[in-house]
Chain A
Amino acid sequence: MTRWGHFAIGCAILVAATASTLARADDQDVIDYREHIMKTMGEQAAAISQILQQKAPAENFAIHVQILAITAATAKKAFEAKVLGGEAKPDVWVHWADFAKRLDDLTAATADLASTAKAGGAAAAAPKVQAALTCKTCHDTYRVEKKK
């Protein structure tokens, strides 16, 4: 092989390796970002659950629900980029219409919950919590089970 041949192959390998690394970095950002959102919802749902079990102060209930509603509204955008990995199953993008509808429903339900809690407090909103936070039904279909 000529000297130029080696150079061309070297350049091709360098470009391929660099581009691949950059793509992975970008993909990891997408995964990290959506996981920040999902973990926020997990923390807020846990706080709400503690309040409903009278293990935490009820006065913060309306705020937790509001944070949950705000975060739910950001979730669909975070999954729009089709990047496999993290705890998301490939089915998120295979069945995007269903997944997106479920997130829209979550957004609507948590917004309604937040309005109810703001107006009437935990007592008024509590009966709606179970119907609004159906996290498990979606996780069963679209989330990879965490390893213990």
Chain B
Amino acid sequence: MTRTLKIVVQITFVAIFLPAVVRADDQDVIDYREHIMKTLDEQAAAVGMILSTAVPGDNTAAHLRAIALTAQIALKSFEPKVLGGEAKPEVWSNWADFSKRMNEFAKKTAEMAALGKEKGSDDPALGEKVVDALSCKSCHDVYRKEKK
């Protein structure tokens, strides 16, 4: 094999396999942020069931704490600009707005969790605080692709 042919083979090899490696890394980034967002979904749904009295409220404070902790790390998981999953490209093209919303979400859910711990699920103020903190839809409408 000539030297030129070797180089061509090497370039071809890199061209074939490098994108696969990049795609795998990108999928990890997408999977990771989706684990975080799905946790928020599941916990918010559990809180919704408690507030609608469909299930007992014994675990309320724990659910609110789980949401607050998850919200705290959510923004970090979107920092790598990797398009895909349910995130719209606007997450990164409007990063200042997206990150502001996520920071507000983290702040409000922390306050919500503190109130839940202090007052318990029976306090009327908690319901209002939860509704205010978990305004997921307003952000999803702008930054999340609708699930098929």
A residues sitting closer than 8 Å to B (CB atoms) are 26, 29-30, 32-33, 36-37, 39-40, 43-44, 46-47, 50, 55-57, 59-60, 63-64, 66-67, 70-71, 73-74, 77-78
Query: Which B residues are in CB contact (< 8 Å) with A44?
Result: 35, 39
Between A and B, how many residue pairs show CB distances below 8 Å? 80
- How many angstroms between the C-alpha atoms of A29 and B48 in the bound complex? 11
- How many angstroms between the C-alpha atoms of A25 and B90 in the bound complex? 39
Apart from A50-B28, A64-B73, 7 more pairs, CB < 8 Å: A36-B45, A47-B36, A63-B69, A67-B66, A70-B66, A70-B69, A74-B62
For the complex formed, measure the closest distance between the CB of B142 and the CB atoms of chain A, giving whole angstroms: 23
For the complex formed, measure the closest distance between the CB of A24 and the CB atoms of chain B, giving whole angstroms: 13
Tally of B interface residues using CB under 8 Å: 29
Judged by DSSP, the binding face of A is helix
For the complex formed, measure the closest distance between the CB of B117 and the CB atoms of chain A, giving whole angstroms: 12
B residues sitting closer than 8 Å to A (CB atoms) are 25, 28-29, 31-32, 35-36, 38-39, 42-43, 45-46, 49, 54-56, 58-59, 62-63, 65-66, 69-70, 72-73, 76-77
- How many angstroms between the C-alpha atoms of A73 and B45 in the bound complex? 18
Q: Is the CB of A67 within 8 A of B59?
A: no
Q: Name the residue on A nearest B25 (C-beta).
A: A55
- A40-B42, A67-B70, A77-B59 known; A56+B28 contact, CB < 8 A: yes
